[in-house]
Amino acid sequence: MCGIAGALLVEGEAALPDPARMIATLRHRGPDGTGCFRSPTCVLANARLSIIDLETGDQPLANEDESVWTVLNGEIFNYLELRAELKALGHRFRTRSDTEVIVHAYEEYGDRFVERLSGQFAIALWDGRRQRLLLARDPVGIRPLFYTRTAGQLLFASEVKAILAVAPQAASLDEQGLAQVFTFWGTVGERTVFKGIRSLPPGHRLIVEKGAQRLEGYWDWTFPQGPGRTDLSLDEAAEALHALLRDVVRQQLRADVPVGAYLSGGLDSSGIAALARESVGTLQTFSITFEDPEFDESAYQRQMADYLGVRHCALRCTAEDIGNVFPDLIRHTETPVLRTAPAPLMLLARHVQSQGFKVVLTGEGADEVFGGYELFKEGKIRRFWARQPQSPWRPLLFSRLYPYLERSPVANRHFARLFFGQRLGELDSPFYAHLTRWSTTRGIFKLLSPELLASLSSAAPEEELLRQLPADFPAWSELARDQYIEVKTLLEGYLLSSQGDRVSMAHSVEGRVPYLDRRVIEFANALGPRYKLRGLREKVLLRRSLRQVLPDAILRRVKQPYRAPDSRCFFPGGRPLPYVEALMSPSTVRRSGYFRPEAVERLLEKCRSGRALGAGDNMAFVGVLSTLLLQEQFFGGRAAQAPVSA
């Protein structure tokens, strides 16, 4: 795991930037050393977090004649198998690093080498003979990679701050990107909240040669047309999945440093921890606990740790901790967020690092792959209700959702009918299951300034997402369509970034996500919906596959998503934290140009007095605060600067 950065001269006689300046901003990602490659037209840089081949794995790495150079952020989990294959074909290796596999695989297989990699990665590869740069990102988007063209150069890096170190003019807000965050929780596709700075999409490679650039997709989530595979019994499918997960976990345990695991007490992380414990014998697990019982899962964490016989370490996180660390969180996420949930995970990563660990396995991705979210149940009930919209009984099914929420949207039957009945008849919408959720999130639009709203009037956030849907999307099952939209919005735009890579790598901790291995995704996607959501019982197949390694209490447990306290974290003793008071003052809000000062002032008072109403008010408060922090930290407190050419 590392941070990477670099530049390519694409036109004119511009001087290439100093790669050391770029990589210096990423030392939190790679504190174990830095390295640079320089040529007249290309520079590559790396900040290393040494995990595999501690002695000879420094980057950049080259092939035998040093005509091909690469830097890697991430891991290639099947590097041993690829190494043996490439050595049999005559390639000579100088290190034991997984990174060196990349240059030899490129020599052997050309641009399609990336399709042979099993891992989580962002790669930059320079072919000196052909004077071409190749950037590639893993299929799911676990590791980030950003790029922009400016002043005759193409700049790229693991984080935006490395680009801004040599191109400060790129610090300009993308209003459409902000609107996407305020709808989907993250941006979609190539868009970021920085105008002109693009995110290389998951499962894509970018090839730049002779000044021209070409973006190619090599993998995407796909589902069968119709019901999907139904020939396996549930037990047969569970047995096959269990064997696959065991192999994936075994492969992802490869490291020359200790590997730990996160343990939330839920099905997903418990399953990964159990499989890891089975493979390595001894295991260290880590978890977060909260003071508020609505968020705390410590009883289940202790139960699971005792069951596995692992060494377990729990970090107590208070509301005050979240409020104090929040500005640092935004510096690392480089985007506004709508919930505080990433903050405790960043604190946990700091604790993991203090215990001498660089790698942890996590349970992220199981909900998307195996149908675990309440949203999927909402979609199923709403479609059932829509077929008889006058029925007084069908909407009563919503009462079976959200048992873990103190202020559940289904607690009041009248409110539930109104909320879930929104746009009930729009069954042809590709976003059907998400419409009600997005309407809540978009409540923050009521706070936007007239000027910002005017700039957004030409295109709704959904339009860009609509253009990216696969051609056969309408032929997929309803659950498959709901899964795909969830992946392309929440997973890629938020969970794997602001709540994933960014918070763990803020403290040099690599998170590995076995459920998002491409083999697991492809196996699960080929199966029909009944293997995932049966009635209103979620993750049926995954539960069955983990029976032999988990206790019944964990297998039967109703899903409780990871959450954290929100707006109340910023008002210790009933007063706003100093930075909150300063940022959300009417003068600062007015100067930003993003929000209406009087509306923000009312929201601030509402949250200060404890009158915030559910998710809508909390998301609005956190969204406003994080946007103002982003402006202060990256835009110099100014709402607009000179744009960068796309």
* Cα-Cα end-to-end distance for the chain: 29
Residues 6+ apart with CB under 8 A from 363: 262, 264, 266, 267, 268, 269, 270, 271, 272, 513, 515
Q: Is residue 41 within 8 Å of residue 69, measured between CB atoms?
A: no
Q: Is 2 a catalytic residue?
A: yes
**Going by DSSP bridges, is the β-strand pair 204-209/212-217 parallel, antiparallel, or unpaired?**
antiparallel
What Cα–Cα distance (Å) separates residue 53 from each residue in 2, 283, 590?
14, 21, 53
Contact 169, 618 (CB under 8 A): no
Cβ neighbours around 45 below 10 Å, total = 30
Joined together, the tokens standing for residue 454 give 């005017």
Q: Which of 2, 42, 317, 569 is catalytic?
A: 2
Residue in the structure block whose two tokens are 């660089």: 358
- Tell me how crowded residue 356 is: count the other CB atoms within 10 A of its CB: 10
Residue 346 exposure: Cα atoms within 13 Å on the Cβ side: 24
Contact status, residue 170 vs residue 120, Cβ threshold 8 Å: no
Which helix (H) or strand (E) segment holds residue 108: the answer is: helix 100-109
Structure tokens at 504: 């763990």
d(CA 509, CA 507): 6
Angle at 68 between CA 65 and CA 74, to 5 degrees: 125
Q: Is 380 helix (H, G, I), strand (E, B) or coil?
A: helix
Give CA separation, 90 vs 87, 108, 344, in Å: 5, 10, 49
A 10 A CB-CB count for 477 gives 18
> Environment class of residue 63 by beta-carbon count within 10 Å: exposed (0-12), middle (13-18) or buried (19+)?
buried
Rounded Cα–Cα distance for residues 620 and 612 (Å): 10
Instruction: Order the strands of the 153-157 sheet from edge to edge.
Output: 34-38, 42-48, 2-9, 153-157, 146-150, 198-199
CA distance 186 to 203: 18
* Two structure tokens written together for 189: 């596709």
d(CA 514, CA 492) in angstroms, rounded, equals 16
Task: Tell me how crowded residue 344 is: count the other CB atoms within 10 A of its CB.
Answer: 26
**DSSP characters for 36-53?**
EEE-SSEEEEEEE---S-
CA distance 188 to 206: 17
Residue 563, token pair as written in the block: 């959450």
Active-site residue set: 2
